[in-house]
Homo-oligomer: A and B are copies of this chain.
Amino acid sequence: MADPVRIGLLGCGTVGRAFADLLDERAEAVEAATGQRPELAGVLTRGEGSFEEILERSDLIVELIGGTDVARDHVLSALRAGRPVVTANKQLLARYGEELFAAARDSGVQLRFEAAVAGAIPIVRVIQESFGVTEIGKVFGIVNGTTNFILSEMASSGAPYEEVLARAQKLGYAEADPTDDVTGADAAAKMAILARLAFHAPVTLDEVVYEGIEQVKPDDLAYAKELDLSLKLLGVAERREGGISVRVFPCFLYSGHPLAPVGGPFNAVMVEAPAITEVTMSGPGAGGIQTASAVLGDVVSILAGEAPLHEVREDLPIVTDFTSSFYLHLEVADRPGVLAKITHVLGENEVSVKSVVQRGIGDEARLVMVIHECLESRFSAAIDEIAQLDELRSAPRSIRVIEEEFV
């Protein structure tokens, strides 16, 4: 019988334990599929174990420590020592991807990371392998389950953000410190990774512009319902004239959009390209077992001796000003001529209105508009002007909209 393949496991939290259990449970299946029997060579936890000793007696390293300090050192050491690495660490890849991929390339070993993006959904493999030579135009979707759960709950219950967040924390869908999720930072890291894969460009986290969902009001969701819109926190990486754009922002979708029905803590990613039209993949966001399963899939691919495609580089700068559609919410004095004033400012800036809902409340009125696609800089200029109008009762609120209609 062949010697077992020794796997060094760094980190033993929820995912680490789930992976150790799954590896044990599926060891026979792994051996049958790859001809190699996997075996845990050691587990590094915060309190116990020596990384150097574990590295020494491992053929492959699985990094599930999280964070970017120790994890970075260990992953680099492992790659430089010629060990393939599987990691679920999106922050690490989004920040230090260049350095890590270079180290893997120099040593001629694999660095795999299916579990870093979108839980059980094998979007990394599909983009890298199935669509490896496809000219991808756009990758976008819902890549954070916490915020999707919160927005779904806000829409169905009408409750405010703070209340729904507390409920999400109780149910385990949000962490005690939810900052990374609700600010969009977590989604931004995932989009940096997906953009790198889709466009062969070295996108890093600090190039991703992101907004979160903390500013979303129940009002916005209620008015949006009348316009047949539902709100998602979207990550969007796309080719735009002159380069690419990678962003995370709350966005309204019409009900026919394939992402509109994706509710609760689910993730969904769409890939668009001329040769495939569009492919959508959805599934549960990261849970312990789902993440462990994605890690195991990568381990199996390494054991099977799968050779990844060569790294290709495209020279694609990040572009920042381009066209979007917007939802615009204004609270104004309910006086004759207000709407005319506002539409005049919009018109002056070449911003045109698709639909309006107006509603009076006492001596105030609320104007909710959907704005046709226009240059974002023009829209911002118009909003700045509108904010100065005497009739405005509070700061304008705007959210992007995807106008595209689907069958």
Contacts and interface: CB of A to CB of B under 8 A. Distances in A.
Interface of A: 22, 26, 29-30, 32-35, 114, 120-122, 125-126, 129-135, 258, 261, 263-264, 266, 273-284, 287, 289-290, 292-294, 296-297, 300-301, 304-310, 312, 407
Nearest to A22: B275
Contacts of A121: 279
A308 to B, nearest CB: 7
Nearest to A265: B407
- Copies of the chain in the assembly: 2
Given A258-B282, A283-B276, A33 B126 contact: no
A296 B133 contact: yes
A309 to B, nearest CB: 4
A12 B170 CA distance: 60
A337 to B, nearest CB: 44
B310 A33 contact: yes
A315 B311 CA distance: 41
Nearest to A313: B32
7 contacts: A32-B310, A120-B275, A125-B126, A129-B297, A134-B293, A273-B293, A306-B306
Contacts of A30: 133
A297 B131 contact: yes
A120 to B, nearest CB: 4
Nearest to A32: B312
B283 A29 contact: no
Given A129-B297, A281-B282, 18 more contacts: A26-B134, A29-B133, A32-B310, A33-B310, A120-B275, A120-B277, A122-B279, A129-B129, A261-B261, A263-B407, A266-B407, A274-B289, A275-B289, A277-B284, A277-B287, A280-B280, A280-B281, A304-B309
